[in-house]
Amino acid sequence: MKVGIIGLPNAGKSTLFNALTKSNAPAENFPFCTIEPNQGVVKVPDERVDVLSQMYQPKKTTYTTVNFVDIAGLVKNASKGEGLGNMFLSHIRQMNACAHVIRCYEDENIAHVLDKIDPIEDIEIIHYELILADIDVLERRIIKTQKAVKSGDKAQSDILSVMEKIKDCLLNGNMANKCALTEEETKIAETLDLLTLKPFMYIANVAEDEAHIDSELFVKLRDYLKEYDPQAPIIKISAKIEQELSAFDEDEKAIYLKELGFDSPGLDKIISAGYKLLDLVTFFTVGQDEVKAWTITKGTKAPKAAGKIHSDIERGFIRAEVTDIDKLLEAGGEAKAREMGYTRIEGKEYVVDDGDVVYFRFNV
Ligand SMILES: Nc1nc2c(ncn2[C@@H]2O[C@H](COP(=O)(O)OP(=O)(O)O)[C@@H](O)[C@H]2O)c(=O)[nH]1
Ligand SMILES: [Mg+2]
């Protein structure tokens, strides 16, 4: 599961990516610096893991992870092949969600493709390119599908009407993820490989000295997004500060943050929001050896979830003993939870839920 960091050149994508992954992808004042996308695995902060770890004092504590990908800057007319055009779009296509970085910092030493800082125009350029690319995909498929419908293929007519509905939405300037689709229609839409159907979040990259205030540019952006995409998370950060902070250890970080007048860095917010966008389910396994968070897609049944841990457990699956994390914490331990009737015995058909603490019984 991947979250793609997208945005115009010099928005601060690579700087943010470096901070997120503490790696050293080149961040340069050069529009097409990033060509092959860099990928990084990032630990997802989760308070639930923290409390379980406090309770069990295990030898090892393992959080889930999310992959962030630093995708090169998209430019105007990318959908027509401009800049590194279609290649970027094809990178975005492989992502499960997008984190759109928007430049809200002024710095005359750092070039801007439009020679002025206007977050709304920046955002519209990217949306426009993605929307155009999707219209292009749809138009070609609609022609093919129309032929299939004419020749009497009934299943294709459902697909056709979903495509036309989405195309209307795109022509009105909206992303496909804002198109009101039924559950059935959404299932069809997900097979169409559209860029703007992916979930989006927005990251306002503000100047170092504006990270703790709401600057004029930030407010402008926030008001625009509240109107355009009310559900999407908006996170304000200073990529530069985050990058500096990422080099520090925890104690140094705390001192530096205090000096700057912040309470917490923005990275955790970005990671959590990115993970949330992916709409995954997290379950936990606990014990003296290890407390661990696992990630599965929604609707995963118990044996398959067990297979994440080890293929033997999936193969020899007998049952899952499931306790809701809140109940486990309330009881203060597994034995007590069992005694209080909080632990359920679940079989092969059980769909693992977010926050389940699971013990798998198996036999091979
Ligand atoms: N002054 C200032 N410069 C920044 C900020 N964020 C990024 N930059 C600089 O802008 C340039 C481009 O940043 P980069 O992360 O490579 O942008 P990308 O093209 O979106 O990947 C680099 O020289 C960064 O140091 C910021 O918040 N303030
Ligand atoms: Mg870059």
Q: Which CATH architecture has domain 2-277?
A: 3-Layer(aba) Sandwich (3.40)
List CB-based neighbours of ion ligand 2 within 5 Å. 13-14, 34
> Is-contact 316 363, C-beta < 8 A?
yes
Q: Which residue type is seen at 103? A: R
Ligand 1 in contact with 233 (CB < 6 A)? no
Q: Minimal CA–CA distance to 126: which of 6, 288, 289, 278? A: 6
Mean pLDDT of the chain: 89
How many C-beta neighbours within 10 Å does residue 281 have? Answer: 18
**pLDDT > 90: what percent of the chain?**
65
Q: Which of 55-69, 118-132, 227-241, 242-256 has the lowest mean pLDDT?
A: 242-256
The pLDDT assigned to 358 comes to 97
Question: Residue 119 Cα, ligand 1 centroid: separation in angstroms?
Answer: 15
Per-residue confidence at 30, pLDDT binned at 50, 70, 90?
A: very low
Question: Residue 72 Cα, ligand 2 centroid: separation in angstroms?
Answer: 5
What's the whole-model pTM score?
A: 0.88
* 195 half-sphere exposure, CB direction, 13 A CA radius: 26
The residue nearest atom 16 of ligand 1, judged by CA position, is 27
How far, in Å, CA of 130 to CA of 132, rounded? Answer: 5
Per-residue confidence at 50, pLDDT binned at 50, 70, 90?
A: very high
Q: Find the Cα–Cα–Cα–Cα dihedral 55, 60, 64, 65, rounded to 10°.
A: 150
Q: Does domain 299-362 have CATH number 3.10.20.30?
A: yes
Ligand 1 in contact with 215 (CB < 6 A)? no
How far, in Å, CA of 338 to CA of 108, rounded? Answer: 64
Domain ranges of the chain: 2-277, 299-362
Ligand 1 in contact with 306 (CB < 6 A)? no
> Is-contact 115 200, C-beta < 8 A?
no
Name the residue of 110, 117, 205, 243 to mutate for ligand 1: max ligand atoms within 8 A of Cβ.
Answer: 110
How many C-beta neighbours within 10 Å does residue 124 have? Answer: 15
> Is-contact 103 204, C-beta < 8 A?
no
Task: List, for residues 84-101, the tens digit of each pLDDT value.
Answer: 556 778 889 999 999 999
Task: List, for residues 272-282, the tens digit of each pLDDT value.
Answer: 999 999 989 99
Task: List, for residues 173-226, the tens digit of each pLDDT value.
Answer: 999 999 999 999 999 999 999 999 999 999 999 998 888 889 999 999 999 999
How far, in Å, CA of 201 to CA of 120, rounded? Answer: 15
Is 90 exceeded by the pLDDT of residue 163?
Answer: yes
Name the residue of 8, 14, 15, 38 to mutate for ligand 1: max ligand atoms within 8 A of Cβ.
Answer: 15
Ligand 1 in contact with 103 (CB < 6 A)? no
Ligand 1 in contact with 105 (CB < 6 A)? yes
Tokens of 65: 């992870």
